[in-house]
Structure formats: C-alpha cells, structure tokens
C-alpha cells in the first residue's frame, strides 16, 4: 500500500475506515433500512384503487386521467396524467406523471439525454382506439394497434395496461396485481418529519416521500434476466414467495463496492432497469423503466399471491416482478419480441446501439495500479516484445498524475509523457490514462479554480459547492447534468488543455458512481443539488453515464470529429453503450469471481452494453497461477479484454510465472488476436443492430430449454461456443452443445454431436471452444506486436459445414479508427458455401457516390471442416486451379492437426469470387 494511500486513510473520518476492507453488508442500506422500499414491500395485491377516466387521443397518444375510487381525506390525491404512445418496431411507451397545471411543489425529474432522437421521431400517431369490455368490468377497456399481431390495452377499472397478441394471449402487463402506487409531491405539514438517517448521515428529504412502485408480469416466461449490475446468476432467482429464503430485492443503485460478493442481489457500480423474459411457449419480451433514482426490484416466486384473491388468466403461466423507485416518474417501455434478438433490437432502438470502437480497443489492454514511472512503462512494453506477446494498450492509474490532479503528470515519475506515448505509438500501441470525476480542491489547480468561479460544481443542500473525500482528499464534483458543463469538461481533453497528451492517448473514467469516501454508502448525499433544483437522489444512477458521455464527446472534439473515442467507464446506465466500454469493477482473484464474470458480462450484453469485460486475474489479491491462466483463456473471449491489478497485488505480467505458464498465457492472448476479424465484425453487428457479442446460449437456441439456465458457457456471435473452466485442477468438464447440427472443436477440428452433453477431458493448454456447423469464421493467423500492425495481413476462412454441406459467415472491415464508415466507407462481405462452392458476396454499400474503402488484403487459406475430401479447386471467374492439401488448423500451438486446406488461393477480400471444390 502506497504512502499517499495510507495518509488518505488516516485523514478520512473513522466511520469510513471499515470500508477499505472487503465488502461489509452493514455499510449499505437494506430494504428495511430504506423507507420507500420497506413501504412498498408491505403493499398487498389489490392495494391500488386507481381508475382511468377521460380516455381520448391527444397529440397521437392515448391519454387518460387516473384517480382513486375513494379519496383519502387526510392525503387527497390529485389526478395523475397517463399517456400511451406506440412506436415503430413493436415498442409501447407508458408515461404517468403529476399534472403540472395543478402546481406541484416541484417538477418531477425526467431523465434526459438517454432516449434517441430517432426513436422519438418514429412514433406512430394514433388516430383512434376501439373499446372492449373485459370480463365483468364496469367500464370498457381501450385498445390500440401496436404492431402486426399485437395490441396495447388500457383497462380502466381496475387500472391496468397490457400488451396482447391479436389472439388474446397476453405478453406483458403492468398493475395486473394491483400494486401500483405513486407518492405525490406535497407541502410538509407542521409536525411532519421527513428526515432519514443512516450510519450518522442525515438526508433532509425536503420534498418528502415521492416513490413509485408497480408490478410487471411476463406471460409464458420460464425465466427473467437483466437488470444489471450485480454478481449473480444470469437467470434471476425469486426474491419473494413460497420457499424463498429471506432475500433482499435486486438493488439498482450505483455504488463503489470493494471486493463485492458473488451470488448476491446487491447492486454494484451500474444500473440498467431493463428486464428481459424468455420461455419456450411464447418466446421473449422485455420491460424498461427510464428512471435514474434508486430502484429495488423483486422477482416474485410462483404462489407469492396465493391468498390475494386476484384472478389472472389461468391459461397462461407468468413471472411477476415488483418495481420500486425512490423518485422520478413512470416512463416505461414494453418490448414484444417475440425472439430474443428482436427484444434487444427494440430496446436499443430506444437507448442506442454499441458505439463502433477503434480496432485497437478490441484487442488486449495491460493495466495496473500503478505502473510506477516511464522506465517501468518502457520495461513492460519491451517485455511483451521479448516474450512475443501482443498487446495494444498500456493503462496508467491515478498515480501518474501530479498529486491526483487529473490532466496532469507527475514531473519526476513521468517527465516526458509525449515521448513515452510516441514510443508506444511507433509499435502501433496506445496509452489510456485515468480521469475521475472528483476534482481536487486546490486553489493552485486551474481546473478547480475555473470550475469554482463558473459555479460548475454540484451543490450541497445549503447551496454551497459540495465537498467530499476521494483519492485527492477534499474534492468537488462537476454537475454533469448540464450540457454546458459537459461541453466545458470535454474541452479539457484538447491537446492545449491536457498538456502532455497525444493523439494516441485515450481515457478511463473510474469512481464515477460517483464514489465519495465519506458520503452515505460511499456516494454523494441524496439531497445534493444539481442545476434546475434537481436533487441527486433523482439522477444518481445516471451521473456516471453523463460523465462518460462528456469525456467521449470531448475526445471526438479533440480529433476534429474524425477520431472514434475510447472511454472506459465503471459506472453505467441505459445508453452507456453509445459512449464506450464498461467493466465489472473491483473483482477478486478467486475462482468464484472467474465463474461469475460470465453471467455478469452476459447480462450487460443483454441490456445493450456489448463492450464489456472483467479484470483478468481479479483486481484484488494474488491469483494462483492456474487461476490466472484459466482467466486469460476465458478473458480472451470477453468483448473488453484487460488484465488489471491492485497496487498491493504482486506483479502479474504474463512472463512472471515460468516458461510454461508464459506460453499458455501467450497462446490465450494470441487466440484473441487471431480472432480480431471475427470480433470486429461482431462489433459492427452490435453497432448496427444492438445484438450483443457475447450471448447466452438461449439467444441462439431459443427453443432449447436446456440452455435457459446455462450461464457457464456462452456464444461468441453465432459461430463460437465457449465453456470456461472454473475449478482448480479440473480433470474433466461437461459441455452441452445445443442444436441438431454438429460442432467442431476450435483447436482440433474434431466433430461433436449437437443436442447432448459431452464429458470432455480438460487440457491445461486451453478451455473448450467449438465452432458451430454451418458457420464461416474469419481469422488472421499472423500475430504481430499489435492489432494495428496486422491491418494488411492476409485472412484465413474456417468453413464448418453442416449436415447439408453448407455454411455462411461475414467479414466487416473499415479503417479501424475514423467515422468514415458512417458514409459507407467500408467493406462488408458475406461468404456462402453451398453445392461445393464458396462464394464471396458484397453486402456493403453499392452507391457509386460513396467513397470506396480499398484494401489489398487477400485470403491466404480456406479451411473446410466436415467435407469428405478433394484434391483441387477452381477459382472463378479467372478459372484458376488451386490445390487442396492437409494442413494445420492452428499455428498457435505445437499440435499439428491436419484438416482440408486450400492454401494460397490469394483471393482479394474486396472482390466477388467463387471457389468450386472439384
């Protein structure tokens, strides 16, 4: 532990000192210690007495007024305004808020800068609605068209909103169990006490209770998933109901949690209030609540409402959930699917798809808190070359700065930062430096003095600049809700302001929950104030999102709009995928954290955040060598691939564990570089469609019930299945290979039958990975120092034939760094093998007015798995003969497995061509 770190701990208030040790449950509030959660959980089914009145069409929406059947004379309710809007692609939006014309004490916060403008513009303007009396209802329900085959229904009394198929089968519903509650803002009466206390902290709560809660039901669902971020299984376990042990709800509240525990509903660094359901009978649906206040979500086990007396449609099974939030409004979205990829597309049509990263960012990142000085950086860089291990990014943590003042360099440790970066750039490598949201309160620090003068800091409840403790000591926090302040922050990344930075330097935003060491639950007080009188409680979960947004937009501005940014963020919210990568935070060097990293990354992908990963090796502690090797072998398949460690951990660069282990880690990293063409193609798919790079098995095999709970294996795209090894000294592992087609071992080409579980021997050299029959995988087999040095290298295509002797795959290529791909400057090819012919087809731009992206790269090998064998092939249209021989499937290891290979067909990737096997 460094001297400065020890000094900081001595300076901090005593109550914080326990938190720097491993995670302790009593440092954070439970539901029972959180009044809005405790109140909501006490509601009984049927508690809601709201009735919808005055249903009509206004501005293209179905609108209504919600009023209780009977008013409470002590707390009379004002009308709530409801609006249902329908959007292209099968998305229903439901908004409920207080009536602003009735002069509430303040305007309730609506989360800005998350929903895409394109989504707002694709609203279908409703012209009419039909009516239908459901069951014994006294009032007719109102029905509007949602999309082909689906309708949205507003039930007036009892109040309910649901989506159904035209056949009448329900898909999703809100308030079917009558748990809706909306605490309206009011003026405090004499004698009322709205204060809340926790561990010596007082929340004044000047506007009193303002929580919202409601139930959401997913029909014909077998499991629900999503609502990250936490270290638990992908399929969400029930938190209430018969047979459920005492459990907390799933908490969505961005928190800095050291060494978080696995298999817990407790929330950590990020919050995405999006839940997705899946079942064999109906398929997939989704629900999203755009709300940035603290949220708690219960998954209700079967029979939870057995004594309620409420009768729901008995022909359909369902999973009920209960959503509770401290503040905000109801701004919810229903996604009808019906396929898993449909739901993800629908969700990302609202919040955005993954930003297309630069090529280098998809490769390996080497990090540590902290590389000590320029000599240390140079030594690490040279050792990668000495041991022939590729890497693309070297990361500097907080101690590269001058006294933890961001945008500065320690002049003794890093006296020549530009030269240091240029040396890395000469090898095609990049540097990433950390820039956190806490600004050191130092009168000699220009960033602080300017922010103070301009009034850019978040205020405390008394209206003064908020002063909290973080790594620099006394710190203040910029008000990132303001576009003006975000733009000012973005200007700090210019080469003029960030002295010592170069075009090859990019950014890591840490601690942006925001983390405040002496704050309640190690975060900013909820009654802190942002511009416009918005309380921090209302936007807490979106603060880190705004911070990453401002940083990313600053980097774009730095490059005159020509350079794609790279910004890594710890805090996250819905939409974070538009601004960079995220990672799972301060994990631990143990087997459980290796295991749980898979469902964590899968959950992030399902909720739009494809560019994610976990720190390889575990941030805290010292991994045993076998664990570290296994983590590299798994981490090579994370979309974001980084090795990182705490400064108290022993150095763990790949060459420090003996020659054999260096070989194993080198091989794992090289696998990633070999697969970069495939990963980059998948990033483009995520960029255009929102479909994640890492996928649960059920996303590719939605009717296979065996896959629904499987989260120790995963798909990389549609072609690769990967199974991690999560136990020490494992000799065998069970691998379920779904589907009716065969699978080919990624290393050996051995064919395995689909639809069954295989018990396989475990090798120290790799983890099990398989290519699905019917796919074509693009590779680059000449691994160099960095991805940028591989740009002009030739490609290999691995064709895995299915039972019909057919296969398909794609390859996407652009310049790897600019935004010119948005103008059609790229290559996109589809490869189709059928009838003993492999054909390359253009699926990229064909508009002659677009700037054509050129490349002289060729395909130097075509490997065909599952073919009976042949001796030659003809390349058309030039009628050129190519010999077929037996060659190695991989060059990476000493194993020489012979497979059918067309060697040096030398086919340009830009051209249309056909190879016919004779």
Known catalytic residues are 510, 513, 586
Strand partners, 771: 720, 744
Q: How far apart, in whole angstroms, are the C-alpha atoms of residue 468 and residue 471? A: 10
Tell me if 64 sits within 8 A of 154, measured CB to CB.
Answer: yes
CA 363 to chain centre: 18
**579-599 burial code (b ≥16 CB/10 A, e <16):** bbbbbbbbbbbbbebbbbbbb
> Distance between CA 80 and CA 84 in Å, rounded?
13
- C-alpha angle 566/286/124, rounded to 5°? 90
Looking at the chain, the number of H-run helices and the number of E-run strands are 15, 52
Rounded to a whole number, what is the largest CA-CA distance in the chain? 93
Q: How far apart are CA 521 and CA 590, in angstroms?
A: 25
Q: In 3D, which of 284, 121, 128 has the Cα closest to residue 702?
A: 284
Contact present, 839 and 887 (Cβ < 8 Å): no
**Strand, helix or coil at 256?**
coil
Kindly report the three-state secondary structure assignment for every residue of 329-363.
CEEEEEECCCCHHHHHHHHHHHHCCCCCCCHHHHC
Gap between the Cα atoms of 585 and 600, Å rounded = 11
CA distance 193 to 177: 31
The answer to whether 93 and 161 have CB atoms below 8 angstroms apart is: no
Strands 283-289 and 274-279: antiparallel
Tokens of 409: 């360099």
Q: Are 649 and 397 in contact (CB under 8 A)?
A: no
d(CA 842, CA 509): 39
Structure tokens, 547 = 């911070």
Q: Which residues pair with 882 in a beta bridge?
A: 873
Is residue 541 within 8 A of residue 327, CB to CB? The reply is no
Alpha carbons 860 and 377: distance in angstroms, whole number: 36
Dihedral Cα 276, 278, 284, 289, nearest 10 deg? -20
Element housing 643 (H / E): strand 641-643
Strand-strand pairing, 330-335 and 91-98:
antiparallel
Could you write out the three-class secondary structure of 259-291? Answer: CCCCCCCCCCCECCCEEEEEECCCEEEEEEECC
Return the closest-CA partner of residue 552 out of 534, 568, 533. Answer: 568
CB 97 within 8 A of CB 63: no
Contact, 392 vs 614, CB < 8 A? no
Show the tokens assigned to 871.
């001796």
| Nearest residue to 542 via CA among 562, 512, 515 | 512
d(CA 634, CA 616): 9
Parallel, antiparallel, or unpaired: how do β-strands 61-68 and 80-87 relate?
Answer: antiparallel
């Amino acid at each position: 532990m460094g001297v400065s770190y020890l000094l900081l701990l001595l300076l901090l208030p005593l109550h914080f000192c326990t938190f720097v040790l491993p995670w302790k449950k009593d440092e954070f509030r439970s539901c029972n210690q959180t009044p809005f959660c405790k109140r909501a959980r006490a509601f009984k089914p049927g508690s809601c007495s709201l009735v919808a009145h005055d249903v009509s069409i206004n501005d293209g929406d179905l609108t209504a007024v919600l009023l209780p059947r009977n008013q409470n004379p002590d707390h009379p309710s004002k009308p709530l305004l409801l609006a249902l809007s329908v959007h292209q692609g099968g998305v229903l939006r439901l908004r409920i808020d207080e009536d602003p014309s009735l002069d509430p004490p303040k305007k309730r916060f609506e989360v800005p800068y998350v929903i895409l403008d394109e989504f707002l513009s694709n609203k279908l303007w409703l012209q009419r609605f039909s009516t239908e009396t459901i069951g014994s209802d006294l009032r007719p329900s109102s029905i509007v068209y949602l999309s082909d085959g689906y309708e949205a229904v507003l039930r007036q009394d009892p109040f309910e909103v649901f989506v159904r198929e035209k056949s009448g089968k329900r898909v999703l519903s809100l308030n079917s169990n009558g748990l809706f509650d909306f605490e309206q803002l009011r003026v405090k009466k004499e004698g009322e006490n709205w204060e809340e206390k926790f561990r010596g902290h007082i929340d004044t709560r000047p506007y009193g209770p303002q929580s919202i809660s409601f139930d959401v039901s997913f029909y014909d669902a077998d499991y629900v998933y999503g609502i990250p971020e936490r270290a638990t299984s992908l399929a969400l376990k029930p938190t209430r109901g018969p047979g459920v042990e005492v459990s907390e709800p799933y908490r969505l509240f961005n928190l800095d949690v050291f060494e978080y525990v696995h298999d817990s509903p407790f929330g950590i660094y990020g919050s995405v209030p999006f839940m997705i359901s899946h079942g064999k009978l109906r398929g997939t649906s989704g629900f999203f609540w755009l709300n940035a206040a603290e949220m708690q979500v219960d998954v209700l086990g079967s029979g939870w409402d057995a004594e309620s007396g409420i009768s729901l449609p008995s022909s359909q099974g369902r999973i009920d959930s209960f959503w509770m939030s401290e503040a905000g409004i109801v701004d919810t979205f229903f996604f009808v699917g019906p396929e898993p990829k449909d739901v993800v597309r629908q969700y990302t049509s609202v919040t955005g798809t993954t930003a297309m990263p630069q090529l280098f960012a998809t490769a390996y990142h080497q990090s540590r808190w902290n590389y000590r000085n320029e000599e240390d950086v140079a030594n690490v860089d040279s050792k990668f070359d000495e041991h022939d291990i590729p890497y693309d990014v070297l990361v500097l943590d907080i101690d590269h700065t001058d006294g933890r003042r961001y945008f500065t360099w320690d002049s003794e440790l890093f006296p020549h930062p530009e030269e240091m970066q240029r040396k890395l750039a000469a090898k095609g490598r990049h540097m990433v430096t950390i820039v956190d949201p806490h600004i050191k309160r130092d009168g000699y620090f220009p960033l602080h003095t300017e922010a103070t003068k301009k009034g850019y800091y978040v205020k405390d409840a008394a209206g003064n600049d908020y002063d909290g403790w973080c790594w620099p000591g006394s710190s203040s926090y910029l008000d990132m809700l303001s576009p003006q302040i975000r733009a000012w922050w973005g200007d700090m990344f210019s080469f003029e302001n960030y002295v010592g930075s170069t075009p090859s330097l990019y950014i890591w935003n840490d601690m942006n929950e925001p983390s405040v060491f002496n704050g309640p639950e190690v975060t900013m007080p909820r009654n802190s104030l942002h511009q416009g009188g918005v309380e921090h409680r209302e936007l807490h979960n979106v603060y880190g999102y705004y911070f990453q947004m401002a940083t990313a937009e600053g980097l774009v501005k730095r490059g005159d709009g020509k350079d794609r940014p790279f910004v890594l963020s710890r805090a996250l919210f819905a939409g974070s995928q538009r601004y960079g990568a995220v990672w799972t935070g301060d994990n631990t060097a143990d087997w459980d954290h290796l295991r749980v990293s898979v469902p964590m990354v899968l959950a992030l992908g399902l909720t739009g955040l494809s560019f994610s990963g976990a720190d390889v090796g575990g941030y805290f502690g010292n991994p045993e060598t076998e664990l570290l090797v296994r983590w590299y072998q798994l981490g090579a398949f994370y979309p974001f691939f980084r090795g990182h460690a705490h400064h108290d951990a022993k150095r763990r660069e790949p060459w420090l564990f003996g020659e054999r282990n260096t070989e194993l880690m080198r091989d794992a990293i090289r696998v990633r570089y070999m697969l970069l063409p495939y990963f980059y193609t998948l990033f483009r798919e995520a960029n255009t469609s929102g479909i994640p790079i890492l996928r649960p098995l059920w996303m590719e095999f939605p009717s296979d019930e065996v896959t629904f709970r499987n989260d120790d294996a995963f798909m990389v795209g549609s072609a690769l299945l990967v199974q991690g090894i999560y136990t020490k000294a494992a000799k065998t592992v069970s691998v379920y290979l779904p589907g009716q087609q065969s699978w080919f071992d990624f290393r050996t080409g051995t064919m395995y039958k689909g639809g069954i579980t295989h018990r396989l021997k475990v090798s120290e050299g790799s983890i099990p990975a398989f290519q699905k029959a019917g796919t074509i995988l693009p590779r680059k087999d000449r691994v160099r120092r960095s991805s940028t040095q591989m740009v002009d290298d030739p490609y290999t295509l691995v064709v895995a034939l299915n039972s019909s002797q057919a296969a398909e795959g794609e390859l996407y290529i652009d310049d790897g760094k600019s935004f010119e791909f948005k103008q059609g400057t790229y290559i996109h090819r589809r490869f189709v093998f059928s009838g003993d012919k492999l054909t390359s087809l253009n699926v990229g731009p064909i508009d002659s007015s677009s700037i054509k992206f050129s490349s002289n790269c060729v395909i130097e090998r075509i490997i065909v798995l599952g073919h009976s064998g042949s001796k030659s092939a003809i390349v058309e249209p030039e009628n050129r003969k190519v010999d077929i021989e037996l060659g190695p499937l991989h060059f990476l290891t000493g194993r020489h497995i012979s497979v059918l290979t067309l060697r040096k067909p030398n086919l340009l990737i830009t051209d249309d061509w056909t190879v016919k096997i004779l």
